Amino acid sequence: MYKRLSSVMFPIVAVLLIGALVWGYQENQEKNAILIKAENQYQRAFHDLSFHMDKLHSEIGNTLAVHTSSLGMHRKGLMNVWRLTSEAQNEISQLPLTMLPFHETDDFLSRISNFAYKASMRDLTNEPLSQKELGNLKQLYQNSSEITKNLKEVQQKVLSDRLRWMDAETAMAAQGKVNDNTIVDGFRSVNQKVQQYPELDWGPSVSNMYTKRTVKKLDGIPMTKEQIQNKAAKFSNQSVGNIQVQENGKGTEWESFTASVGQAKDSKLMMDFTRNGGMLISYSDTRQIGTKKVSRNEVMAKADQFLSDKGYKDMKAVNYDEYGNLANLTYVRKQGDTLIYPEKISVRAGLDTGEVTGFQASDFVNEHKDQRNIPKARLTAEQARKKLNPDFEESYVRKSLIENEFSKEVLCYEFGGRINGTRYRIYINADTGMEEAVEEIKPVNATS
Give me the pLDDT at residue 360, please: 92
* Sign of the CA dihedral running 249, 250, 251, 256: positive
Average pLDDT over residues 444-448: 46
Residue 152 has pLDDT above 60, yes or no: yes
Average pLDDT over residues 1-25: 62
Lowest-pLDDT range of 104-108, 332-336, 370-374: 104-108
- Counting DSSP H helices and E strands in the chain, the numbers are 11, 12
Comparing CA positions, the residue from 265, 287, 271 lying closest to residue 233 is 271
User: Buried b vs exposed e over 164-187: b needs ≥16 C-beta within 10 Å?
Assistant: bbeebbebbeeeeeeeebbbbebb
pLDDT band at 176 (very low <50, low <70, confident <90, very high): very low
More confident residue, 64 or 347: 347
Q: What values do phi and psi take at 127, rounded to 5?
A: -140, 75
Asked if residue 388 lies in contact with residue 428, where contact means CB atoms within 8 angstroms, the answer is yes
Residues near 359 by Cβ (< 8 Å), separated by ≥ 6? 282, 283, 307, 345, 346, 347, 348
Q: For residues 447 and 275, what is the distance between their CA atoms, to the nearest angstrom?
A: 41
pLDDT digits (tens, 9 = 90+) for 34-46: 667 777 787 888 8
Give me the pLDDT at residue 399, please: 96
Average pLDDT over residues 406-413: 88
Instruction: Name the most confidently modeled range: 34-48, 79-93, 113-127, 374-388.
Output: 374-388
Residue 448 has pLDDT above 50, yes or no: no
pTM passes above 0.85 = no
Residue 177 has pLDDT above 50, yes or no: no
Give me the pLDDT at residue 178, please: 43
pLDDT band at 320 (very low <50, low <70, confident <90, very high): very high
Average pLDDT over residues 256-279: 82
Comparing CA positions, the residue from 431, 427, 429, 430 lying closest to residue 416 is 427
The amino acid at 266: D
More confident residue, 82 or 185: 82
Average pLDDT over residues 391-403: 94
Residues near 173 by Cβ (< 8 Å), separated by ≥ 6? 99
Asked if residue 411 lies in contact with residue 335, where contact means CB atoms within 8 angstroms, the answer is no
Average pLDDT over residues 6-20: 64
Average pLDDT over residues 356-377: 89
Q: For residues 257 and 273, what is the distance between their CA atoms, to the nearest angstrom?
A: 5
Q: Is 350 left (phi over 0), alpha (psi -120 to 50) or beta?
A: beta
* Sign of the CA dihedral running 78, 83, 88, 93: positive
Asked if residue 435 lies in contact with residue 388, where contact means CB atoms within 8 angstroms, the answer is no
Residues near 219 by Cβ (< 8 Å), separated by ≥ 6? 276, 277
DSSP state string for 278-306:
T-EEEEEE-PPP----S-HHHHHHHHHHH
Give me the pLDDT at residue 190, please: 79
Give me the pLDDT at residue 113, please: 85
The contacts found for 267-272 with CB under 8 angstroms, 24 or more apart, are 269/236, 269/238, 271/232, 271/235, 271/236
Q: What is residue 219's DSSP assignment?
A: -
Average pLDDT over residues 229-246: 89
Give me the pLDDT at residue 26, please: 62
More confident residue, 122 or 315: 315
Asked if residue 280 lies in contact with residue 361, where contact means CB atoms within 8 angstroms, the answer is yes
pLDDT band at 196 (very low <50, low <70, confident <90, very high): confident
Q: Name the 3-class secondary structure at 393.
A: strand
- Give the Å distances, CA to CA, from 21 to 8, 16, 32, 35: 21, 9, 16, 21
Give me the pLDDT at residue 337, please: 93
pLDDT digits (tens, 9 = 90+) for 349-366: 999 999 999 999 988 988
* Annotated domain spans of the chain: 11-210, 217-367, 381-440
Q: What is residue 239's DSSP assignment?
A: -
Residue 392 has pLDDT above 50, yes or no: yes
Cα 235 from chain centroid?
31
Q: Name the 3-class secondary structure at 445.
A: coil
Comparing CA positions, the residue from 207, 183, 358 lying closest to residue 282 is 358
Residue 388 has pLDDT above 90, yes or no: yes
**What percent of the chain is modeled with pLDDT above 90?**
30
Average pLDDT over residues 180-203: 72
Give me the pLDDT at residue 412, please: 96
Give me the pLDDT at residue 191, please: 80
First to last CA, the chain: 81
DSSP state string for 137-158:
HHHHHHHHHHHHHHHHHHHHHH
Give me the pLDDT at residue 128, please: 85
Give me the pLDDT at residue 300, please: 95
| Pairing outcome for strands 435-440 and 409-419 | unpaired
Residue 447 has pLDDT above 50, yes or no: no
More confident residue, 259 or 204: 259
3-class SS shares of the chain: helix, strand, coil, % to 5:
45, 25, 30
Average pLDDT over residues 157-171: 71
Q: For residues 332 and 363, what is the distance between their CA atoms, to the nearest angstrom?
A: 10
Average pLDDT over residues 192-208: 68
Residue 179 has pLDDT above 60, yes or no: no
Measured in residues, the chain has a length of: 448
